[in-house]
Amino acid sequence: MPGGPRAVRGWPGPTLSDALLVLASLALIISLTGPYLRWTRFERRVTQVVLNVDSVRTAALRYRKRNGTWPESAPAGEAPPGLASELSLRVELASDGVRLVWRRWSVMKPRYEEPAVTFTPPDTLVSTAPALDSLGSISVRTPNESLLAALLLHYGSAASFARDSSWTLIVRPEPRPSRTDSIG
């Protein structure tokens, strides 16, 4: 039997052009799906980092509400001593080139008083000695600039900034309700 036992009558088998057509089709499929797969992997990574940042932020806010102060600063990739029990086991503070850093910042906050002198206009405030206050921050350190840009977009309205392969979110305490909020 010419062409072997697998040959179909009238068809000698695949030619070089048939093989090239199949390879070209596979290359086209890969070139169209490759960017989508990279994008979905990147979006998963951004989502994971956002979840980790939000978990640390929530734990720090709970800690501050319970203790009246922010947790102590911690080295990159390590949980602050006061937050270790608050954080879920799924929170990754260091993974795949991304490290989260918690910091407590001391800031000077001026206090103002109404003037005691009668000839000063009533809307003039007199500054007294500044009081020491603190803020918390969560930094994400990574060489991936696209990830830093995605974090800036995600937390756009919050106090965040990026600099030197690091993105920082300033964590503020929950606003206290005013007297007018409770009346109603």
pLDDT in tens, 39-72: 888 999 999 999 999 999 999 999 999 988 888 8
pLDDT in tens, 17-27: 888 888 988 88
What average pLDDT score do residues 134-161 get?
Answer: 86
Q: Where does the pLDDT of residue 184 fall: very low under 50, low under 70, confident under 90, or very high at 90 and above? A: very low
What percent of the chain has a predicted confidence (pLDDT) above 70? 74
Residues 6+ apart with CB under 8 A from 42: 146, 147, 150
Neighbours of 127 (CB within 10 A): 9
Residues 6+ apart with CB under 8 A from 78: 93, 94
Q: Where does the pLDDT of residue 141 fall: very low under 50, low under 70, confident under 90, or very high at 90 and above? A: very high
How confident is the prediction for the chain on average, in pLDDT? 78
Residue with tokens 């036992």: 5
Q: Is 42 exposed, middle or buried (0-12, 13-18, 19+ CB in 10 A)?
A: middle
Which candidate, 135, 131, 141, places its Cα nearest to that of 73?
135
* Residue 160 pLDDT exceeds 60: yes
pLDDT at residue 88, rounded to an integer: 75
Which candidate, 98, 83, 42, 77, places its Cα nearest to that of 171?
83
Q: Where does the pLDDT of residue 29 fall: very low under 50, low under 70, confident under 90, or very high at 90 and above? A: confident
Query: Beta strand 160-162 with 126-127: parallel, antiparallel or unpaired?
Result: unpaired
pLDDT at residue 110, rounded to an integer: 62
What b/e string do you get for 5-40 counting C-beta neighbours within 10 Å, with b at 16 or more? eeeeeeeeeeeeeeeeeeeeeeeeeeeeeeeeeeee
pLDDT at residue 142, rounded to an integer: 92
pLDDT at residue 116, rounded to an integer: 52
pLDDT in tens, 97-135: 899 999 888 777 665 555 555 544 444 444 455 556 778
pLDDT at residue 49, rounded to an integer: 92
